[in-house]
Amino acid sequence: MNIAARIEKLEARRRTGDEMLMLWRKPGTGIDAAMLSANKAGLFVSGDLVLCGEWYGDDDMPSARWVRRIVSDLTPPERESLYQTLKKQISSPARNGSSTDVPHLCDLPDEALWERAIGVET
């Protein structure tokens, strides 16, 4: 592993209590595999809030990183991919959850979702 990759991995591990880990996976791939890989890499621990979106962008998938606000911390292509992921999951008859013990967005109260999404405190 080169030094830049090691630094990127260390930077991704830094977080505060009000952040969530933004992970990306290819469309159609399972959440469990992406979560397991990130967990084995030490990017998060049990109890951390993790979002795992499908990447619909034209360029390479972004690296996993800790974010506070979806609107201000994600790039426009990241927000569009996350929007498409959520739209797909909402229209799915069965919730596409993960078998890990990481909290799901569906389990957060509306106030927490609203604050994380647009940065408005309720």
Domain assignments of the chain as residue spans, ordered by start: 3-118
In the prediction, which pLDDT does 55 show? 96
Report the amino acid identity of residue 11.
E
Q: Which two tokens stand for residue 87?
A: 């739209």
Sign of the alpha-carbon torsion through 25, 30, 36, 37: negative
> In the chain, what percentage of residues exceed pLDDT 90?
30
Proportion of the chain in helix, strand, coil states, percent, rounded to 5: 45, 10, 45
Condensed to tens digits (0 to 9), the pLDDT of residues 77-89 reads 999 999 898 888 7
Residue 91 reports pLDDT greater than 90: no
Residue 103 reports pLDDT greater than 90: no
Average pLDDT, the chain: 77
Condensed to tens digits (0 to 9), the pLDDT of residues 49-87 reads 888 999 999 999 999 999 988 888 999 999 999 989 888
pTM summary value: 0.65
